[in-house]
Structures are given as C-alpha cells and as structure tokens.
Amino acid sequence: MLVPIVLPFIFLGRNVRGGDVDRFYFQEFGSYAAGLRFPPVTEDDLHQFQVPGSKDMKHIFEYEHGLDVLMSCAVMRRKAVVKDK
C-alpha cells in the first residue's frame, strides 16, 4: 500500500440483519449524507455499503489508526524512491 485511497464510511452497527454472525455494516459517507439509509431500496444502492466479517476488515480503520497507516505508507514510499535512485 504505497498509495492508499482514503474514503470516509459511517459505522451503522454490528449484526444489523437477523441471522447475522460477526458482520459489521458500513456506509459510504456521501450516500449517508444524501439520506440513503439501510437497507437500500434498490440494488444499485448496494454499492454504497460494505458488510465485512471481522476477519475481512484489514482495510477499515478508525480515524486515528488510519493516520498512522497513512504515515507508514509515506515512509515506505520514501524508502522506495531512495532505493530506485
């Protein structure tokens, strides 16, 4: 991850639907701010949500930890540039 992409998501809750086990619900911030709520009305709206299990959340960070990851990426990029010279 030398060039990360940062997107804001809203945490909607854990195990939101009946029968869920170890599922975390997130919604893309722009759609949340525009008033789209879970569950989505159309299939097209599904891409605004992420529903990973706890083992699949290596790419989702709380704000402060996300800053640490960004700084780590910056350091790795600098090392990669120096190595290429």
Question: Please, which pLDDT band fits residue 84 given cuts at 50, 70 and 90?
Answer: low
Task: Quote the pLDDT of residue 6.
Answer: 86
The average confidence (pLDDT) of the chain is 89
Instruction: Tell me what pLDDT residue 11 has.
Output: 95
- Residue 69's pLDDT is 86
pTM for this structure? 0.75
Are the C-beta atoms of residues 73 and 2 closer than 8 Å to each other? yes
Q: Tell me: the pLDDT tens digits for 38-71?
A: 988 888 898 999 999 989 988 888 888 888 988 9
